Structure 1
């Protein structure tokens, strides 16, 4: 049996798992990533139709990791407009109120994944094992032992679960999680449109849920359409003309004529919140620790904050020769990350419940609330900084 030694074993090679590998690798910490998908599959257009709004602080981190310069088709977000259906009152963010830095960047996930794969491939301290799966995982007193599907035995000091909302490692470790299935699905597609989007991201609240129109390059936008779970399959079965008509009805006319380009995707929406972010020689990151509603577009950013915090803790520990699976390190990581993720999960859950209805009294209150925040400059600036990832106790990789 072949044997591989590393310091950190990451199970899950999605955007967050690969980001951690890039960060640890650049810190000189030997790392191995195991992912069940072949890399060439994960960067193909049919694999994942989503695009992510990468907040300004997260973009700084990707720049420091030499990932951002490798990403193609990057569209800055210069303004955000939040409205309640067609109500005249709205909330407007403009990056110029805080300086020259964009509020964030819109990037198709496949391009971010390609850049991460290219980055870790150049790091001698990182091994990517894919397509590969982890069979038996043993977390003992002296370290972690993992049996891979090709028969390799991996020995490490720490295992990191980056294996998503239905994390097998979280379950095997006996970590309970709050899991709530929203009565909503996310329909995701890309549209090309006649008129320019002017680098404005729109979040429009409709009775079924939020409808996001997110700017992409080349006069395109990514749509995240939250729809009732019992209705979403029927919309996906519409022919191209009928589906485009439903999109146009929700977008309105400000982008002119539009057409849907590329495939349509449907994702069930869930809330997942692990009760602990660590166990013996195990740390949870990304959706394995906290999966939130996409209403604020913060899921990937939340995972990158996990990456930045865990990297800072492990880099400091490696510098003084500590065991990277030490319980005190993992407890520090959880303490650093829990409040941020729990608060954001709660806020997105409440916002979705508040805005996903059409009751006139509630609608009036929320419209007045949006307008009040828009008129209160200090409060509006605070929310803008929060959207950019510039509030709270940020790890060094995220700071200005």
Structure 2
């Protein structure tokens, strides 16, 4: 069973951040090697995780990993498979939005390329499983500073406590304090956009269809949830997003209806609305001696392709495989040559996805008629090339490139 983090104990791995990435990494390490000492540090009490009202798109590869970690069957009854995806490109005032691209929803027979999963189900499942496997927790608490030595890293926590570990993993988000303390520089720019996230109910069933409408201000994604509900990721210029979030329900719903359309009948807000600033943040290095980045601390990208969280799960699968393999060979999990294997595996892929999402956002978030004609021609071309569509589905499902064992559903 789990325990409180103990002073005087030298853990194998300390993980700063108890979100999806931190918890799944802790669970993956303890599942593969129960003797490994793992501690998770998070500023929030872990028992409030079920209160997150949002939902996340989980690619097929990530669901295979969660199945291998023993929690997918607990999550699945609350998940909504994405059976189809359509892409449109139009102006906001256009009465008709022609569909330029459609994707079937299966990677293999009976396996959708993604599911929508409520955060309030997935996070508690990860926490319960990690706790059951013996992961230690220091929460609520924060890693305030650290110092890497030849054999371990010393952490000073905000509470005044101190911890020792052979490796510190920063999974503390896109504004990672630990990344800055490690002296890792980033490539960063702001898009001047914010993503409005909320949930709506609608009169007619969505039939498991996801929609991405490219509008001049940015993509407007409709993602199916169980029942007649959908999760929205609505991109607007930051000032407009703030105005919309601060508006009354009637004004918000009127603006929402202009973008959503009437194909699913009457709409009604079914959850809180929040806006999150969008930008690109890529760490120049993913590792330092006895230190590694994972998840948004390593790469924060635009949600246009829905790959942010799934990239974090790729980090988890790759880092867990590298660390567990090294330990089985009698190597030091915090040694720089071990961590460089993880960096070689993940850094190029993260930079590549960052560039792709950046180009897509710049190409589609505008009202230029010449660019619209060019991109619509490109979308139509992809629609007529089954092999290219299959490649895109493989990428969206998380199976492109060298895939860690957990993402194929195999144990480490």
Q: What range describes the TM-score normalised by the shorter chain of this pair?
A: over 0.9
TM-superposed CA distance for 1:67, in Å, is 2.1
Match of 2:40 in 1: 33
Matches within 5 A, 1:359-370: 359-370=368-379
How many aligned positions are there? 396
Match of 2:258 in 1: 249
Give runs of ≥4 in structure 1 deviating > 6 Å: none
Pairing partner for 2:124 from 84, 104, 114: 114
TM-superposed CA distance for 1:89, in Å, is 4.2
Query: Where does the alignment leave 5 or more consecutive residues of structure 2 unmatched?
Result: 1-5, 91-95
Pairing partner for 2:356 from 311, 324, 347: 347
Match of 1:294 in 2: 303
TM-superposed CA distance for 1:98, in Å, is 4.7
Matches within 5 A, 1:39-50: 39-45=46-52, 49-50=53-54
TM-superposed CA distance for 1:87, in Å, is 4.1
CA–CA separation in structure 1 for the residues paired with 2:68 and 2:7? 35
The answer on 1:22 being equivalent to 2:27 is yes
Kept in 2, the 8 Å contact 1:89–1:371? The answer is no
1:193-226 Cα offsets, whole Å, 9 max, x none, are 0011110111110000000000001210000000
Query: Could you say what secondary structure the match of 1:201 adopts?
Result: strand
Query: Could you say what secondary structure the match of 2:403 adopts?
Result: coil
Kept in 2, the 8 Å contact 1:273–1:342? The answer is yes
Kept in 2, the 8 Å contact 1:87–1:367? The answer is no
Pairing partner for 1:84 from 89, 95, 99: 89
Kept in 2, the 8 Å contact 1:17–1:33? The answer is yes
TM-superposed CA distance for 1:236, in Å, is 1.2
The answer on 1:64 being equivalent to 2:68 is yes
1:13-35 Cα offsets, whole Å, 9 max, x none, are 11111110110111122210000
What TM-score, normalized to structure 2?
Answer: 0.93
Query: Could you say what secondary structure the match of 1:66 adopts?
Result: coil
1:300-322 Cα offsets, whole Å, 9 max, x none, are 00000000000001111111221
TM-superposed CA distance for 1:97, in Å, is 7.3
Pairing partner for 2:240 from 204, 208, 231: 231
1:204-261 Cα offsets, whole Å, 9 max, x none, are 1000000000000121000000000121111112211221111111111111111011
CA separation of 1:384/1:13 partners in 2, compared to 1, >3 Å: closer, same or farther? Answer: same
TM-superposed CA distance for 1:69, in Å, is 2.0
Matches within 5 A, 1:172-211: 172-211=181-220
What TM-score, normalized to structure 1?
Answer: 0.96
Pairing partner for 2:57 from 35, 50, 53: 53
Kept in 1, the 8 Å contact 2:106–2:113? The answer is no
CA separation of 1:96/1:146 partners in 2, compared to 1, >3 Å: closer, same or farther? Answer: closer
CA–CA separation in structure 2 for the residues paired with 1:70 and 1:139? 39
Query: Could you say what secondary structure the match of 1:6 adopts?
Result: strand
Pairing partner for 2:109 from 99, 103, 108: 99
Kept in 1, the 8 Å contact 2:199–2:270? The answer is yes
TM-superposed CA distance for 1:52, in Å, is 1.1
CA–CA separation in structure 2 for the residues paired with 1:269 and 1:50? 17
The answer on 1:123 being equivalent to 2:137 is no
Query: Could you say what secondary structure the match of 2:406 adopts?
Result: helix
Kept in 1, the 8 Å contact 2:173–2:296? The answer is yes
Match of 1:318 in 2: 327
TM-superposed CA distance for 1:96, in Å, is 4.8
Pairing partner for 1:13 from 12, 18, 22: 18
CA–CA separation in structure 2 for the residues paired with 1:168 and 1:63? 32
Query: Where does the alignment leave 5 or more consecutive residues of structure 1 unmatched?
Result: none
Kept in 2, the 8 Å contact 1:308–1:397? The answer is yes
CA–CA separation in structure 2 for the residues paired with 1:361 and 1:2? 63
